[in-house]
A and B are shown apart, each in its own frame.
Chain A
Amino acid sequence: MSIIINHLNYIYDEDTAMAHPALIDVNLKIPDGQFIGLIGHTGSGKSTLIQHMNGLIKPSSGNVFFDNEDINEQGYDKKKLRSNVGLVFQYPEHQLFETDCFKDVCFGPKNLGLPQKEVELRAFEALEQVGFDATYFYQSPFDLSGGQKRRVAIAGVLAMKPRVLILDEPTAGLDPKGREDILNLISDLHKKMNITIILVSHSMEDVADYVERIIVMNKGRVAFDAEPRDVFSHVKELEEIGLAAPQVTYCMQELREAGFDVDTGVTTLEEAKKEILKAFGKC
């Protein structure tokens, strides 16, 4: 069992007149190797939650366990935790700072105190894992396109060899092709290296296409925690909390209302296509 969150509460500006709860009694188990989507409207507590997972914020009450150890106990090695639980912030390319891409990726492992050879080996591996073209290794990261910069930033976190990778809206601001590339990359990392992935996203279509489990946050609480199919069957409730279902899910519901014999639990384009063809007796 990789991460356990136990009765977690977090209050912003505690002990002041401005105090307001950001997380209320959150309980979650995140086993090794899952691909999880974390959704919720702005201000629902998603970001506060993920910052607890690698010890950037201390809970007001409750615990976060990583490998059965409470990460907020005195003497717990937070540095090790942060190499195990990698966090890729929104717009991570804003954090690139070195003169070339390779050096930038080296920064994380170097800070772990590894020997130079190991550092460079890891940087090389990480850049390869994100499919970054070797001819650009020694270019300034600032000369790259948005999607490429983001790859370098993700490689910087991968070079720490995390077991859990949390990405906060990794596709924000990218064009459709760039979005697809980054999501395929994340999906590959999950499959090939068996890393646990937590994907924070505002795109229901993306989440439905890739993840096996969805956690929905609303007003600091976990509103749903289930497979995409289950979660997206609660269209009304999702809309009430500022979210939505993928377009194809709506499509199938409308087709059903129009008298077609289709499954309304469909969440991806492939499934929708199959269902419709089946209704027409074509497969």
Chain B
Amino acid sequence: MKKMIRTDKLVFEYIRRDEEGNVEGITRAVDNVNLNVEPGQFIAILGHNGSGKSTLAKHFNALLYPTEGEVYVDGMLTEDDEHLWDVRQEAGMIFQNPDNQIIGQVVEEDVGFGPENMGVPTEEIWERVDESLKAVRMDQFRKSSPNHLSGGQKQRVSIAGVIAMHPKCIIMDEPTAMLDPNGRREVIRAARALNQVENITIILITHYMEEVVDADKVFVMDKGKVVMEGTPREIFAQVDKLKELKLGVPQVTLLAHELRKSGLPIPEPILTRKELVEALKACR
């Protein structure tokens, strides 16, 4: 089976220039990354600010091209001009700030923008708008102005706009960074539902460790390289290493870790509150 996303020795460098335009040096933002994402997976990418996560993600829908190496989306080489629009239709992108992504005056118009640009017939556009808004549970706001929505709602409209293009994969670059707890929950719930019900591949970039717990696989980046790779359980078992990488673990995981250090025989790692309660019951 074709990989949803495959990178082969991916390197991305940009040239730093001073005010006169003279070359000051070269920064390697992504450094020899080889990764595979299978269709239907829920992937999380972690890494501190400046570790190269977003630069990497922008390669997944041909917003950036590799300096060296190759990126394939659903078997298509992203650098091939003939595939450009197919790549962008198959791999949709959601950014951090919902206000920068909404262009329509009315929610339904905003969601219809993508398929309209793809030349989808009008009738089908409306069908797609309908199903996309339902998928993120925003159908009751169809006729609203996006200005009057909360951050979480706006972010879900952005997601609906991507879904309307019938992508196979959605890349979310810190979609919850600007949201309140409710908004965060709504967006993550929408992402999970798309993954499980529609079988859309999700790549979630985040700084919130709690959002990563249910992922199929986690990649951790540092200085442009993938330095850790595994299931959330394998990753969060390494509390000290994550701290070194300027990351953390969910608060329950940390609590369990501390309790273990104090002598309680709790297995490593604990990912959910339920697991902690069970583990403590077993200690009794």
Q: Which residues of A contact B152 (CB under 8 A)?
A: 42
Docked-complex contact B273 and A250, CB < 8 angstroms: yes
Residue with the highest number of chain A CB atoms closer than 10 Å, among B209, B250, B273:
B273
Q: Give the residue name and chain of the A residue nearest to B262 (CB).
A: A277
Complex Cα gap A115–B284 (Å): 68
Q: Which residues of A contact B281 (CB under 8 A)?
A: 258
Contact of B277 with A by CB under 8 A: yes
Contact of A131 with B by CB under 8 A: no
Docked-complex contact B251 and A269, CB < 8 angstroms: yes
Query: Pick the contact of A176 from B247, B258, B276, B280 — CB < 8 Å?
Result: B247
CB distance from B181 to the nearest CB of A (A): 5
Docked-complex contact A41 and B150, CB < 8 angstroms: yes
Q: Give the residue name and chain of the A residue nearest to B276 (CB).
A: A251
Q: Which residues of A contact B48 (CB under 8 A)?
A: 175-178
Given known contacts A247-B250, A247-B251, is B150 in contact with A145 (CB within 8 Å)?
no
Given known contacts A42-B152, A250-B273, is B254 in contact with A269 (CB within 8 Å)?
yes
Q: Which residues of B contact A180 (CB under 8 A)?
A: 248
Docked-complex contact B251 and A273, CB < 8 angstroms: no
Docked-complex contact B283 and A272, CB < 8 angstroms: no
Q: Which residues of B contact A41 (CB under 8 A)?
A: 150, 180-183
Given known contacts A202-B181, A273-B258, is B49 in contact with A175 (CB within 8 Å)?
yes
Q: Which residues of B contact A147 (CB under 8 A)?
A: 49
Docked-complex contact A251 and B255, CB < 8 angstroms: yes
Contact of A223 with B by CB under 8 A: no
Given known contacts A176-B209, A247-B251, is B277 in contact with A258 (CB within 8 Å)?
yes
Docked-complex contact A242 and B180, CB < 8 angstroms: yes
Docked-complex contact A243 and B182, CB < 8 angstroms: yes
A interface residues, tally (CB under 8 Å): 38
Q: Which residues of A contact B180 (CB under 8 A)?
A: 40-42, 202, 242-243
Q: Which residues of A contact B247 (CB under 8 A)?
A: 175-177
Contact of B246 with A by CB under 8 A: yes
Q: Which residues of B contact A146 (CB under 8 A)?
A: 49-50
Q: Which residues of B contact A178 (CB under 8 A)?
A: 48-49, 246
Residue with the highest number of chain B CB atoms closer than 10 Å, among A180, A244, A251, A272:
A251
Docked-complex contact B246 and A280, CB < 8 angstroms: no
Docked-complex contact A269 and B246, CB < 8 angstroms: no
Contact of B188 with A by CB under 8 A: no
CB distance from A249 to the nearest CB of B (A): 10
Given known contacts A147-B49, A251-B252, is B177 in contact with A172 (CB within 8 Å)?
yes
CB distance from A140 to the nearest CB of B (A): 9
Docked-complex contact B259 and A145, CB < 8 angstroms: no
Docked-complex contact B255 and A273, CB < 8 angstroms: yes
Contact of A254 with B by CB under 8 A: yes
Contact of A173 with B by CB under 8 A: yes
Contact of A189 with B by CB under 8 A: no
Docked-complex contact A244 and B280, CB < 8 angstroms: no
Q: Give the residue name and chain of the B residue nearest to A174 (CB).
A: B49
Complex Cα gap A174–B96 (Å): 12
CB distance from B10 to the nearest CB of A (A): 22
CB distance from A258 to the nearest CB of B (A): 5
**Which A residues from 126 to 147 make CB contacts under 8 A with B?**
145-147
Interface membership of chain B positions 106-132, coded 1 if the CB is closer than 8 angstroms to chain A and 0 otherwise = 000000000000000000000000000
Contact of A26 with B by CB under 8 A: no
Given known contacts A43-B150, A176-B207, is B50 in contact with A248 (CB within 8 Å)?
no
Given known contacts A145-B49, A174-B49, is B280 in contact with A276 (CB within 8 Å)?
yes
Contact of A227 with B by CB under 8 A: no
Q: Give the residue name and chain of the A residue nearest to B154 (CB).
A: A42
Binding site for A on B (CB under 8 A): 47-50, 96, 150-152, 174, 177-184, 207, 209-210, 243, 246-248, 250-252, 254-255, 258-259, 262-264, 273-274, 276-277, 280-281, 283-284
Binding site for B on A (CB under 8 A): 40-43, 145-147, 172-180, 202, 204-205, 242-244, 246-248, 250-251, 254-255, 258, 260, 269, 272-273, 276-277, 280, 282
- Given A173-B178, A251-B277, 8 more A-B residue pairs with CB atoms under 8 Å apart are A172-B177, A177-B243, A243-B180, A243-B182, A246-B251, A248-B251, A248-B255, A269-B255
Q: Would you list the 6 A-B pairs with minimal beta carbon distance, nearest first?
A: A177-B246, A176-B248, A242-B182, A175-B48, A247-B251, A146-B49
